[in-house]
Structure 1
Amino acid sequence: MPPLPEPGPWPQPLPAASPPAELAIHHLPTGTYLTRAAFAFKGGSFGDKRHFASSAVLVQHPRGDLLIDAGFGAGVAAHIAMLPRFVRAPHQPGLTVSSQLDAIGYDRHRLLGVLPTHSHWDHVSGLDGLHGTPIWMNAPERRYAATDPDGKVYRSVSQGHEIHEYGFDDGPYLGFASSYDVYGDGSVVIALAGGHTTGSVIVFVTLPTAQRYAFVGDLTWQIDGIRRRVERPWLLSKLADSDPEQLRQGLLRMIAVAGLMQVVPAHDLDSYRGIPLLSARAAGQPDRPRTAPTTTTES
C-alpha cells in the first residue's frame, strides 16, 4: 500500500518562542485499551496488538497550568458502556488524573483548565474527577461535541463545568491556517487542525531547553502514521473522521516538521518517552496566580 507523498521539509525558521524558565511538562498515564495495528494505520498487521494510551499532559507555566486531555476517569467502565458495541475494546485503567494530582498534593488553584485535543470519550473521561476545573474548547468543537453521537460521553462528564471558549486570532502556525498563543510567549500554541473532529487541535509546546513537542491528538492514532506516511484504514477513517481530506493535509504538515520536534499522538504510549511523570517535586514549586490569558469565557 503506497504511502502518502513525502512533503518537503519545513522551509522557514521555527516560530519564535520565549518560554519562561519555570515551564515544564509531565506525563500522566491513566490506562490503556487494546487494539490491533491493522485497525490503527494502513499496512498495520492484524497480529500486532497495540496498547493504546489514554493519557494527560500537565503543562506548568508561571501564569497558570493547563492539562492537555483528561485520560480515563473513575467512571471509565460506564463511559465505555455508552459507546456502540463495535468500538468497545478491552481496557486496563490506571490512576486517574485527579488521583495523580492529589497524590503529590498539587494545588488545583494553579490549574487554569483542561484543554482537550478533541471531545471523544477517551480524551475527556477524566473530567468526571476534575470538578470545578474549566474546560477549554473552541467554538467548532463545542458545536461538534453538542450534537455528534461521539460526543455522548463528553456531554455527560462536562455537566457542571465552566466552558472557557478560546478563538484562533494569532494567524498561521507551521502551515496551519489559524492558531492561539495561550500565554503570548510562544511556549504553548494551539493550532486548529480539524479533520478528525470539526474543532480538533494540535498543541505545540516549547520548553526552556528549546525542545519542542507537538501533541497531535488523533491526527494519527500511532506514530507509524508519521513515520510511514500512512493514514487510517479507509473504513476506520470513514467511521472516525469528520473530514478525511482535511485530516490528510494536517498529517502531511506534521510529517514535514517531524524532524524538528517530538510528535506525540495521544494514543501512542512510546511517543511520550522522555516526558517525565508527575512527581512530588512538581508540587514543591511556588503557588502560581490563577490568572488566565485574555479570552472569551462562556458558561
Structure 2
Amino acid sequence: MSPLPIPSAWVEPLPEAAPPSDMALYQLPTGTYETRAIFAFKGGSFRDKRPFAATSVLIQHPQGDLLIDAGFGSQVDAHIQALPRIERAPHQLGNTVSEQFKANDYDQSCLHGVLVTHSHWDHVSGLDDLQLPIWINEGELQYAGQSKGGRVFREISGSHRIHQYEFRGGPYLGFPSSYDVYGDGSVVVVPARGHTTGSVITFVALPSGQRYAFIGDLTWQLDAIVHRAERPLMMRMLADTDPQLVREDMLRMIALAGTMHIVPSHDVSAYDGIPLLLN
C-alpha cells in the first residue's frame, strides 16, 4: 500500500488577503456517524471506528455571513433511510444548525446563504431547517440534479433559492481558477472536481493571520493528508466521480499542509481550535 509521492512543499508567499478585523469563524457540530478507518483511507484499521463529523462552519463577515455546509438536520433519520442500505451507518444527532442559532440568539438576517462543498446528504441535510439560499456552482448543480448521490439534495432544495457562482478568478495556490467571495481574499473557493463533478475547497484567512482550508470530502480524514493515503480502491470507485482528479488535488493540499490548517469535513479532530458558536 504505497503512499502517494511526496510533492514539493509550497514555498511561495500565500496569496494576499485583507480580512476585516471583525471577521470570525465558528464550528457548529450537528452530530456524527460511524465509519471504520479501513474504509476511509489506505492503511486504516478495521478495528478503528471513527466518528465522522457532520459539522457546519459559520463565517462571520461584515459584508454578510456565510455557512459552509449545513450538517445534519432534524429530518436526518428520513434522509438516511433514503440511502441504499449499504450506505447507512449508525449515527448520533446533536443540535442542528437552526437550533444552535436559536439558542445563541444569532440573527439569521445576517446570513447570505449556505455554500455547499458538495451535494451529498451529510452536507445538506440541515438545509431542511434553514430557509437560506444555497450557494452552488454549475458543475455541482448538474451533479445534484442527475446523480443518485444528489437524491436528498433534490428533495430539500426545491424550497430554496439557488445562488449560482462562477470561478472567474485566476489561479490560486496551485488550483487553476477561483472565486473570491468578498473580494478581499478572506474567503476563496476553488474547484476540486473529483469527489463530485462540482465539489469545492474553501480557503479562509482570518485577521489573526491563521489560514484554513475546508476541503470537503477530498479526503474523509486528516490521516489521508498526513500519510498521503488515498481512499481504498473500492471506495474510490464507489465514492469518487474521478479518482485521478482527487489524487491531483490531494497532492496540492499535501504540498500546502505546512502553511495552513486543513479541515476534511468528516474529521472530528480537524475542527480543534475553531471555537463553538455556543459557549
Tell me which interval the TM-score lies in, with the shorter structure as reference length.
over 0.9
TM-score (norm 2): 0.99
What residue identity is the alignment partner of 1:198? T
| CA shift digits 1:150-183 (9 cap, x unpaired) | 0000001112100000000111111111110000
Matched, 1:94 2:113: no
Shift in Å at residue 252 of structure 1? Answer: 0.3
Task: Show the 5 A alignment for 1:21-40.
Answer: 21-40=21-40
Shift in Å at residue 2 of structure 1? Answer: 1.0
| CA shift digits 1:116-174 (9 cap, x unpaired) | 1000000000000002x100000000000000000000001112100000000111111
In the alignment, what sits opposite 2:231?
A: 232
- Coordinate RMSD, CA, aligned: 0.7
Matched, 1:252 2:251: yes
| Structure 2 CA distance for aligned equivalents of residues 106 and 158 of structure 1 | 23
Give aligned pairs, total: 279
Matched, 1:207 2:202: no
TM-score (norm 1): 0.93
Matched, 1:4 2:1: no
What residue identity is the alignment partner of 2:46? F
| Structure 2 CA distance for aligned equivalents of residues 260 and 116 of structure 1 | 24
Residue aligned with 1:80, SS: helix
| Structure 2 CA distance for aligned equivalents of residues 200 and 44 of structure 1 | 24
Residue aligned with 1:260, SS: coil
| CA shift digits 1:195-251 (9 cap, x unpaired) | 000000000000001100000000000001100001000001101000000010000
Matched, 1:115 2:115: yes
| Structure 2 CA distance for aligned equivalents of residues 136 and 201 of structure 1 | 11
What residue identity is the alignment partner of 2:200? V
What residue identity is the alignment partner of 1:102? K
In the alignment, what sits opposite 1:179?
A: 178
| Structure 2 CA distance for aligned equivalents of residues 136 and 14 of structure 1 | 26
Residue aligned with 1:236, SS: helix
Shift in Å at residue 11 of structure 1? Answer: 3.0
What residue identity is the alignment partner of 1:28? L
Shift in Å at residue 279 of structure 1? Answer: 3.2
What residue identity is the alignment partner of 1:43? G
| Structure 2 CA distance for aligned equivalents of residues 83 and 175 of structure 1 | 35
Instruction: Flag structure 2 segments of 5+ consecutive residues without an equivalent.
Output: none
What residue identity is the alignment partner of 1:253? R
Once superposed, which parts of structure 1, at least 4 consecutive aligned residues long, lie more than 4 Å away?
Answer: none
Residue aligned with 1:140, SS: helix
In the alignment, what sits opposite 1:266?
A: 265
In the alignment, what sits opposite 2:14?
A: 14
Residue aligned with 1:264, SS: strand
